[in-house]
Amino acid sequence: MSFNPGKVPAKILEKIVFRHLGTNRKELVVGPSLGVDCAVIDVANASIIVSTDPITGALERIGWLAVNVNANDVATFGVHPQFLSSCILLPENAEEKTVEIICKQMDEAAKKLGIAIIGGHCEVTPGLTHPIVVGCTFGITRKGCYVTPKGAEPGNKLIITKTVGIEGTAILANDRESLLRGNLDHQLLEKAKNFFSKISVVEEATLAFETGGVTAMHDPTEGGIAGGIHELADASNVGFKIFEDRIPIAKETREICRIFQIDPLQLISSGTLLIAVKEDCVSKILDRLEERGINASLAGEILNNPRERVLIRKEGLETNLGRPVSDHLWLALKKQ
């Protein structure tokens, strides 16, 4: 079986990856499972939240993304990320300037989030065509003081922050700028190039958790908002209903997706946050987010039946929300 670019299919994770996990240790209280991007390790009176992610499809702001994307995973547990270890893999033609650019970007992003870069590895790797940065981020909290993607319950409401496809919009606007010029309004293109500034969900995730009523959170990365909702449902063993006309899509994203003929719902969406919330806490969380200038939309609800994964189209038609086979970023990057 050959795979499409991006995440390995969920059935392969269950069939192979999750069956080869080394030694069982009592300190590991949340381990690998579908839709769960972090592990939780209990040590004394503390819980350590750990996440690992690579940046493989971006060039222009790869160091910035490596810090923020990894930090986002930890933040979805309601915990502020504090430490980062990284592995920088460079192609054979890489120069000193490349290392400097990546490290400066990582330094800038880490300082903004209050993260210490504690070490890692850097090498030239044969066979690569562009740099790859893999990060591992840690956050420490009081024992048990976190939320996981496993906690969504039937009747919870689904909140989406900002807009969908943020990371994909930023990557395409920067790495395919020459193709977009002439096809996209100049001001829209410049705004889209700055979408990297929206990548972090640390503020909204920790704020929502502190406000109360959050049962689960997830940041939709590869596979976009469509993939992210499925992953949250997988983790919690629930279904969902989401309304197409309540899913926030920026004009910049919509236009870039039109040009590349891709689906904004299946475009990598770091910077967007999915929050499952108890119904009586929705208004409180929306108000707190608005106070901080963070746009958020009440877009759907959690259902009891795990097989019921519904998208209500704008015209009212009820359809199944398909699980993305591969992120649409890869389709767009094939176009020259």
Q: Which residues of the chain does CATH 3.30.1330.10 include?
A: 10-142
- How far is Cα of residue 14 from the mean position of the Cα atoms in its chain? 21
Q: What is the pLDDT of residue 10?
A: 85
Tell me what the pLDDT averaged over the chain comes to.
Answer: 95
- Model's pTM, two decimal places? 0.93
Q: What is the pLDDT of residue 46?
A: 98
CA distances from 6 to 20, 91, 292, 327 (A): 21, 20, 34, 7
In sequence order, the 6+-apart residues with CB closer than 8 A to the CB of 279 are 155, 156, 157
Q: What is the pLDDT of residue 35?
A: 87
Tell me the pLDDT tens digit for each residue of 104-139. 999 999 999 999 999 999 999 999 999 999 999 999
In sequence order, the 6+-apart residues with CB closer than 8 A to the CB of 293 are none
Share of the chain above pLDDT 90, in %: 89
- What confidence tier does 257 reach under pLDDT thresholds 50, 70, 90? very high
What letter would DSSP give residue 43? Answer: E
**336 pLDDT more than 70:** no
Q: Which amino acid is at 55?
A: I
Which of these, 103, 86, 213, lies nearest to 138 by C-alpha position? 86
Q: What is the third-level CATH fold of 149-333?
A: Phosphoribosyl-aminoimidazole Synthetase; Chain A, domain 2 (3.90.650)
Q: What is the CA radius of gyration of the chain?
A: 19
Share of the chain above pLDDT 70, in %: 99
In sequence order, the 6+-apart residues with CB closer than 8 A to the CB of 54 are 132, 133, 134, 135
CATH annotation of 10-142:
3.30.1330.10
- Give all strands (DSSP E) within 75-131, no chain letters: 83-90, 116-124
In sequence order, the 6+-apart residues with CB closer than 8 A to the CB of 305 are 239
Q: Using an 8 Å Cβ cutoff, are 50 and 41 in contact? A: yes
Residue 165 has phi, psi (to 5 degrees) of 70, 25
- Give all strands (DSSP E) within 111-264, no chain letters: 116-124, 132-142, 157-161, 214-218, 239-243
- Give the separation between CA 215 and CA 201, rounded to whole angstroms: 17
Q: What is the pLDDT of residue 8?
A: 87
What is the arithmetic mean of pLDDT over 298-324? 95
* Burial classification of residue 292, based on how many CB atoms lie within 10 Å of its CB (0-12 exposed, 13-18 middle, 19 or more buried): exposed
- What confidence tier does 2 reach under pLDDT thresholds 50, 70, 90? confident
Q: Using an 8 Å Cβ cutoff, are 173 and 334 in contact? A: no
Buried b (16+ CB within 10 A) or exposed e, 211-224: bebbbbbbbbbbbb
What is the arithmetic mean of pLDDT over 161-166? 97
**1 pLDDT more than 80:** no
251-260 helix and 166-175 helix, angle to the nearest 10 degrees:
60
Longest dimension (CA), the chain: 59
What is the arithmetic mean of pLDDT over 82-97? 96
Tell me the pLDDT tens digit for each residue of 185-221. 999 999 999 999 999 999 999 999 999 999 999 999 9
**57 pLDDT more than 80:** no
Q: Which amino acid is at 16?
A: I
Structure token digits, residue 159: 């909140």
Q: Which residues of the chain does CATH 3.90.650.10 include?
A: 149-333
Which of these, 268, 245, 260, 272, lies nearest to 331 by C-alpha position? 260
What is the arithmetic mean of pLDDT over 33-62? 92
